[in-house]
Amino acid sequence: MNQAQNSMLEKIRQYGVSDERVITVMGEVDRADFVLPEQKQFAYEDRPLNIGYGQTISQPYTVARMIELLLPALPSMPPFSQMVLEIGAGSGYQTAILSRLFERVLAIEVIPELAQKARLKMNDSGFENVKVKAGDGKEGWEEYSPYDAIISAADAAEVPDAWVEQLNTGGRIVSPVRGEMVRLTKMTEGSFIKENFGKFSFVPLV
């Protein structure tokens, strides 16, 4: 790990991410491998970067914070024997981090070209517990449901019904909703605990 990557992780800690399970894995997955060649010099800066097709790779702090909210509240070490659905695979950066933390990751990307790039990246890098497809993330991925956790990298007007239906009891949804980070924990059928974690900026869920 180079000094710039160490500085990125230290900034994430300073911003309040305290789960070392997240920090450790983010140190193992090199963000520079998931950005465009002309953006590599900025790979470890704490800001979103363009990945083409009008999309961005989220800033490292945002990725870390969302995954911290998604992880089981257990003092154990990953990988957790849980299956995660990711909405908005983008370049595959967050997908790769999730794959180190959970037993299986299913990822949907609405832009076919990005889905193909993320799929090839996962295959070439040996992330064998990941499956990526192009599709409408609002519909979830019913074939492999129910999921223990669902995470979205796009701002929704409301949490789609499909995500709720495809979530296990006790499962968690972490997503920006109307610009605010939200975590929903499914207690029983139709019963949720909702928590808000402040304002974040994302591309809209389409």
Tokens matching residue 23? 């920090």
If we measure between CA atoms, which residue out of 64, 75, 63, 77 comes closest to residue 17?
64
Q: Which of 7, 18, 58, 175 is catalytic?
A: 58
Q: Is-catalytic flag, 99?
A: no
Helices and strands (H, E) in the chain, number of each type: 6, 9
Q: How many CB atoms lie within 10 A of CB 72?
A: 17
- What residues are labeled active site? 58
